[in-house]
């Protein structure tokens, strides 16, 4: 059995300075993302400014996450097997985001009758008898809850 294990108890001790530097980098990145969020960034190509803003925030977040994973969690120094399993969760997560493929390729909009009332009360809590005149032609005024 021992043949297959890379003996990790000859462990790698990372100097404090590395950790401290990482922490400083992380805090700086955090400040950078707050700072970047205070601007309305311009649109780039097909992406609207909103998307660009969000992309910047997420790229910084990913950078921070990578720092934490690589340095703090020590993946940089761990076995290939551990690296594979680190990746597996995130890869599967990307597959999960494949669900978005459905929402981007179909009409996804709720009909009016289904939204809760403008006064904020949930439609299911309104009395049955109440008949609300149609808001527009497409309104079905469906009763939500008996």
Partner 1 sequence: MSAITNTSDHGHDSALHHQFEDIGQQNDSYIVGMWVFLSTEVMFFGALFFIYTLYRWNYQLDFYIAHEHLDVKLGAINTSVLLFSSFTMVMAVQSAQLKRRLHVIGYLLTTIVCACTFLVIKYFEYSSKIADHLYPGAGFATDAHAAFGAHAFEAGKLAVNMNHAQLFYALYFGMTGLHAVHIIAGILVILALIRLWVIRAKSVTLDYIPTEMVGLYWHFVDLVWIFLFPLFYLMPKPH
Partner 2 sequence: MSFFNFPLAPPQASNIAQAYDPVFYALVALSVFFTVIVCAGVILFAIRYKAGTKADRSRPMYENLPLELTWTIIPLLLGLVMFYFGTALFVKIKTPPKNCEQIFVIGKQWMWHIQHSNGVRENNTLHVPVGKPVKLTMISQDVLHAFYIPAFRVQMGVVPGRYTELWFTATQAGEYHLFCNMYCGTQHSEMGGKVVAMDPKDYAEWLSNGGQSVAPMSMEQAGAKIYAKVHCDNCHGAEDTLHAPSLYGIYNKRRIFADGTSLLADDEYLRDSIIRPYDHITAGYGETMPVYQGQLTEEDVLNLVAYIKVLGTPIATTPTSIVNRHSAPTAVSPTNESSALAANAVQANTPDPDATPTRRVGSPAVGAVAAEGRNR
Partner 3 sequence: MSSTVIPSGELGQQAEESNYLNVKHTIASWLLTGDHKRIALLYLVSTSFFFFLGSIAAGLIRYELTSPAGVVLESETYNKVFSSHGILMVFTFLVVAIPAIFGNFLVPLMIGARDLAFPRLNLASWYMYMTGGTLILAGMIFGGVDTGWTFYTPYSSMYSNGQVTMVIIGIFIAGFSTITTGINFVVTIHKMRAPGMTWFRLPLFIWAMYATSLMMILATPVVAITLLLVVYERTFKLPVFSPELGGDPVLFQHLFWFYSHPAVYIMILPAFAIVSELIANFSRKRIFGYHFVAFSSLAIAGLGFLVWGHHMFVSSQSMYESIVFSLISYLVAVPSAIKIFNWMATMYKGNIRLQSPMIYAIAFLMIFTVGGLTGLFLGAAGTDIHLTATYFVVAHFHYVMVGGTMLAFLGGLHYWWPKITGRMFSDGIAKVNAVIVFVGFNLTFFPQFIVGWLGMPRRYHYYYFAPEFQAYHIMSTLGATVLGLGFILPAFYLTMSLFTGPKAGPNPWGAHGLEWETSSPPPTSNFTETPIVMDEVYDFDPVSDHAKDLKDIEERNRRRSEEGYCGSEDDN
Told to check if 80 binds partner 1 by CB under 8 A, we report no
| Contacts of 101 by beta carbon, 8 Å cutoff, 6+ apart | none
Kindly indicate which of the ranges 21-29, 33-41, 52-60, 117-125 contains the residues binding partner 3, using the contact rule CB under 8 A.
Answer: 117-125
Q: Looking at beta carbons only, is 2 or 131 nearer to partner 2?
A: 131
CB of 91 to partner 2, least distance (A): 25
Which partner, partner 3, partner 2, partner 1, none, binds residue 101 by CB below 5 to 8 Å per kind? partner 3
Q: What is the closest distance, in whole angstroms, from the C-beta atom of residue 120 to partner 2 in the complex?
A: 18
Residue 53 within binding range of partner 1, rule CB under 8 A? yes
Q: Which is nearer to partner 3, 15 or 120 (CB)?
A: 120
The region, left, alpha or beta by phi > 0 then psi within -120 to 50, assigned to residue 2 is: alpha
Cα distances (angstroms) measured from residue 113 to each of 26, 103, 124? 48, 21, 12
Distances (CA, A) of 42 to 20, 37, 45, 48, 136: 35, 12, 10, 7, 36
**Sequence-separated (6 or more) residues with CB below 8 Å from residue 18:** 71
CB atoms under 10 Å from CB of 71, counted, come to 19
Please report, as ranges, the residues that interact with partner 2 according to CB under 8 A.
Answer: 108-111, 113-114, 129, 131-134, 136-146
Please report, as ranges, the residues that interact with partner 3 according to CB under 8 A.
Answer: 1-5, 81, 88-89, 92, 95-96, 98-99, 101-106, 108, 110, 114-116, 122-124, 144-145
């Amino acid at each position: 059995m021992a043949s297959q294990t890379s003996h990790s108890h000859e462990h790698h001790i990372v100097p404090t300075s590395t950790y401290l530097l990482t922490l400083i980098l992380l805090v700086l990145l955090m400040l950078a993302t707050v700072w970047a969020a205070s601007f309305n960034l311009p649109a780039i190509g097909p992406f609207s400014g909103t998307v660009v803003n969000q992309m910047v925030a997420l790229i910084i977040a990913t950078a921070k996450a990578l720092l934490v994973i690589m340095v703090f969690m020590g993946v940089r120094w761990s076995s290939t097997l551990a690296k594979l399993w680190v990746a597996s969760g995130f890869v599967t997560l990307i597959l999960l985001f494949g669900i978005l493929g459905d929402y981007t390729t179909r009409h996804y909009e709720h009909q009016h009758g289904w939204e809760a009332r403008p006064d904020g009360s949930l439609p299911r809590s309104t009395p049955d008898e109440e008949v609300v005149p149609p808001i527009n032609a497409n309104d079905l005024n469906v009763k939500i809850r008996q």
